[in-house]
Each structure stands twice: as C-alpha cells, then as structure tokens.
Structure 1
Amino acid sequence: MSVMAKYVRIFWPDPKDEDVARRNKAIVTIQSWMSGLEDPWSAIKLASALTAAVGDGVAREEFVPHVERAIVDAGSDAFVRDGHDLEMNVVTLVAALDLIRRPNGDEGGWTAPDALAAGLWSAMSFQQPVSEEAVEMLRQEVIVAARERTMRIAEQSRMRAVVPEVGLLSIPESQPTGTRAKTAYRKATEPLVKALRENAELDREELEFLWWSIEDWSDCLNGRLSDAAPVVRAVVAGIDGAAKLRRLPASGHRNVVLRGVPAGELANLDSALTALGDFREKICVSIDKTRVAEAAPVFPLLSAITDGVVEKRDAAVERDARDWGARALLERGIIQVASLRRS
C-alpha cells in the first residue's frame, strides 16, 4: 500500500508513479531512523521540531539531514533542501503518522514511537490550525492518531504481568560448580522477578496516586486543592497528580484530577498565568526546566509557567479550566515518564 499516495499532491500538483514510489521508499528509511532513536526523549524533541515546522512552514534541522538523505538514497539524486521545506515537512509528518498508527509492542509504553505520539498529541493539540487546508487536514489526522496511541499505551502499560513459575535449572557441565549454580538460578528466576518488580511498581503508583487524591492537599498551594480557584486548582492538581505516576496518564487519572473542577471557567494562557500568580515559583520547583526548554512546543503550559514567555499565536484561545487541568496532567506526565524511564 502506498503511504504517500494520499498526501503527495500537497506539494506535487501532478505527481508521477515513480515519484510517489521514491517517496514511499524514503518514508521507510525515515521511519527506521525514528524507531531506532535510542533515547525516547529524542522523539519528544523531534515532535517539538515537527510541530514548529508545521506551524511556520520552515523545516527544522532536527530532521532535515535525515529526511534529505533518505530522499536522495531513494533515487532522487538531484534533490536539495532549498525550496522544498513543504515537501520535507509533509514527508516527515506522513512518516510519523504511519509509524504511530502501527500497533504498539509490549515494551511498557515508552519506546521512541510511543514518545513521538505523546509529544505530537501534546504539541499539536495546543497549536492553532494552519492556513494551508491540505496540511491542516494531515495535521488533524496526526492529532487523532497520536491521541489514540497515547491513550492506548497508557492503559495497556498498566496491565499486570503474569507471574510465571520458576523455570527449570539448567547447569552446563563446562562451567565451575559455583558459577554454574548462580547462573542457572538467575536464569530460572529472572522472568518471575521481572514480573514481580513491574507489578510492584504499578501497585505503588496506584497507592501513591490514591493517597494523594484523598489528601486533597498541595504543597505548592500550601493548602487544599478544593479551596483554590478553578483554573489554579485544575493546573496544580494536574501537575501534582502527574508527579505520582510511573506511566503516561490514563483517562482514570484525568477523571480523578478534574474531579470537583467546575466546567465553564474560561481562560487563555495569559489569564491562567495571572491566576497562578505567586504559586508559579513553587510549581517551578517540581518541573524539569531543562527538558521543558528543549521541547517547548510539546510543553506550552509548563514552558509559560517556568519562563513567563507566552507564544501569542497559540495562546490566545480561551480554554476551560478542565482543559487546562488535563493539559497540565499530560505535559507533566510526559516529563515524569521521561525522567523515570529513559529507554
């Protein structure tokens, strides 16, 4: 099936079959690069760069060298970057879209494609629509696919592992007796220990999150969450709640965080920062400002909280307090998982 057939006319009014075939081949190479990113945080930075590129139409250095090389290696020997920003942006975005639409594996919900999906959802769902209709339609497809994958892995990564029986001890005769016994025991018990460890981590997450929700207390506010104004309560609850997680936040976590936050309280980003007021300083203590700065489009709310700079184009939209709370949970949740699970 041709991945590019549906989208190639965004930059080629009258494409030829061989041109489409070359771009399909390039996409395979680009996806191999994306999937092979050893540190999922690199995928977050890629999502940030790709979102910025879609916003202003300028291809970013974070992906340009890889995409240019893939296109040339696919048979377009004369291809150069100059004048082809739209093509490079679209090809990269289509490669990401097709990648995150694929079934996720059982690596626990934090592979490079998983991180790419979470980053794209966070960044592009805050971004204002772009003027080019065809690009905007593609961008909306990416948002939907990224949201679906992120929510799916948030649920699946919390499924408890089946605890196996201890395996058979197999002791090779060629090794010394003591070494043979230790190696055999470790191999026989390793799957059991791994399952118990993963299940214990999830149990601890549940207990800590539950206890936090019962307490109704925030150190940032030095008071009860339920006593705060809706926007402040939603944002602080999202940030505090995400700090208790070990996987990406699921719908259940969002429901708990937003419990008691009334609907109908609208605020744009400037208004939300004003409402947070002096609490921002304490909130910043719990945020990894370096990571936020490295991928600011993925973390528009946290970026504004930490540096006070508001990107006017995407910040003017008024959002409900509950939307701000959900965004705080997602952004801080991505930072949390990136810090705890580096690969």
Structure 2
Amino acid sequence: MDNLARHMRISGVTVSDNDVESRKAAVKSLATLWGKENKAASIVSLAADIAGALGGNGEPSPKLGEKVQASIQKKAPSFLYDERPLDVGICSGMAMISILSGATDNNGWTIPVAYAATLWSALSYQPALADERREILRLEVFGVAPTKTDTAN
C-alpha cells in the first residue's frame, strides 16, 4: 500500500490526504472481502474485471465500479465511480497486491493463488499502456502475481 498516494495521481486530479485515507480504507476493506471469496467462478470473474480496469481505457465494469464505490463511500460519501473511474482500478489493483503479498500458510490452490493465476493470465495478454503512470500500476499488479503462483507447487 506504500504506492497508493503515487498511484492516485494517475487520475490527474489534486490528491488530498483525505482522498488517500479513504482509498487506503477501501483497499483494506476490499482486500479483506475479496480474500474470503471461495467460489472459483467469482474469483475468475472479479480478477478479469480488475484486469480490465487496469488496462485499456481504464473504464471499470459497472459491477466492479459499484463494489469499489461502496467501499470508498464509507469514508468519502460523495465519491462516485463514474466521475473518477480510474480510482476503481487503483483501489482494486492495490487490494489485489495486498491479497497477493500476504503470507502463504499452505501449499496448493488457495484463494490468492487463484487470483494470481487469473490476473497473470489476463494482464499478460494486454498491450502496454501509453500512460506511464497507469502502466506502472498495471505492471506492479502483474509483477506480484507470479510470485504467488510459485507457491502452488
């Protein structure tokens, strides 16, 4: 979560300490929620939505946008994802980094490994982004994914 404030500048708007704190709380909440998901289809669908928000034009799916919006609104009630869609990719990407950076307590296919495999697969087929700041975030998520899949041996 160290890079959250830097990644928030992707959107090009002025970032306040309150913005960073509300996004930090959202990232923690999302990581906790998504880290408990145990249905493979839901994990794959969510990871694909996150990869989509990290790549392309940065526009999140409505389902992902609403999930992230609800989480941010706990600390920043006026936040609307359709006004700041890049924040959805930033928060969801950082939540995935949090999940994938966690300690592995056993071998095999764990929830983080399932997210990692799906994210790695989706992100590896995306072209590099022209926006350097967005590409740095995308590569940060992409770079954490293989380290988690290595533990599934």
Which residue in the other structure is 2:51 paired with?
51
Structure 2 stretches lacking a partner, 5+ long: none
> How many Å separate the matches in 2 of 1:25 and 1:64?
16
- TM-score of the aligned structures, taking structure 1 as reference length: 0.42
Q: How does 1:1-343 map to 2 (within 5 A)?
A: 2=2, 4-53=4-53, 54-73=55-74, 75-106=75-106, 108-151=107-150, 153-155=151-153
Distance (Å, rounded) in 2 between the aligned partners of 1:48 and 1:36: 17
Question: How far off is 1:93 after superposition?
Answer: 1.0
Taking the aligned partners of 1:111 and 1:64, their CA distance within structure 2 comes to: 26
2: CA distance between counterparts of 1:77 and 1:129? 34
Contact 2:69 2:80 in 1 (8 A): yes
- Report how many aligned residue pairs link the two structures: 152
What TM-score do you get using the length of structure 2 for normalisation? 0.89
Q: What is the CA deviation profile of residues 129-172 of structure 1, one whole-angstrom value per residue up to 9, with x for unaligned ones?
A: 12211111111111111011112x233xxxxxxxxxxxxxxxxx
Q: Give the direction of change, closer, same or farther, for the CA distance of 1:3–1:32 in structure 2 (3 Å limit).
A: farther
Q: Give the drift of 1:28.
A: 0.9
Q: Is the 8 A contact 2:120 2:142 kept in 1?
A: yes
Q: Quote the sequence identity (%).
A: 28
* 8 Å Cα contact 1:26/1:70 also seen in 2: yes
Higher relative CO (Cα under 8 Å, sequence separation at least 6) belongs to 2
1:60/1:138 Cα in 2 relative to 1: closer, same or farther (>3 Å)?
same
**Between Structure 1 and Structure 2, whose CA radius of gyration is higher?**
1
CA drift at 1:83: 2.1
Quote how far apart the aligned CAs of 1:40 are: 3.1
Stretches (4+) displaced over 4 A: none
Cα distance, 1:14–1:83 mapped onto 2, change above 3 Å = closer
Tell me how far apart the structure 1 counterparts of residues 62 and 5 of structure 2 sit (CA, whole Å): 26
1:91, distance to aligned residue in structure 2 (A): 1.2
| 8 Å contact from structure 1 (residues 58, 86) kept in 2 | yes
SS in 1 for 2:56: helix
Gap runs ≥5 in structure 1: 156-343
| Residue equivalent to 1:234 | none
RMSD: 1.8
